[in-house]
Amino acid sequence: MRFAFEFFVLTLTGAKAFSPGAHYQGKLRHHGQFSTRPRRIRQVVPMDLASTKTSSDASVQVPSRTASWDSSPVPYNDIAVGVPKETLAGERRVAQTPTSVAALTKAGFHVGPSQKHYFNTICSLFSIFFL
């Protein structure tokens, strides 16, 4: 059960972390006939995994993978919120009301296209010019 759990955790956090010698961390590896001296096994364990790996109880928190987002906070002023029209047939609702839009803009959100969109549009126009 423990092996299955560790395999599950290790495969979640990347296949590179899984190695047959994973259970011998901190011990000395049996040195073969060609190695001159015993060496300590160097094991690459992700930082978030290293804290959870030692606890073997069931209430262990499996670290979640946050793909490419950094954890640095983004101010509301930098976030553009887009509300497209619903295209599903028979749908009469909408995601935001004028009241909720007012709440968003009061909090600092920009409701509309982002500045990056305009930047990309201008850049693509210039790139056509230089081609």
Partner 1 sequence: MESGAGALASFTDEAYAAAGAKIVDNAGEAWAADLVLKLNPPTVTEADFLGPGQVLSTRTFSSDLGSFVHVFLTIF
Distance CA 25, CA 22 (A): 6
Q: Can you tell me which residue has the tokens 């209430």? A: 59
Q: How far is the CB of 130 from partner 1 (least distance, A)?
A: 23
Q: Which amino acid is at 16?
A: K
Which three-class secondary structure state does DSSP give residue 52? helix
Q: In the complex with partner 1, which residue's Cβ is closer, 60 or 111? A: 111
Phi, psi of 103, rounded to the nearest 5 degrees:
-65, -40
Q: How far is the CB of 91 from partner 1 (least distance, A)?
A: 6
Residues forming the site for partner 1 (CB under 8 A) = 68, 78-88, 91-99, 101-102, 104-106, 109-114, 116-117
Phi, psi of 43, rounded to the nearest 5 degrees:
-120, 130
Residue 40 bridge partners (DSSP): 28
Give me the sign of the Cα torsion angle 7, 13, 14, 19: negative
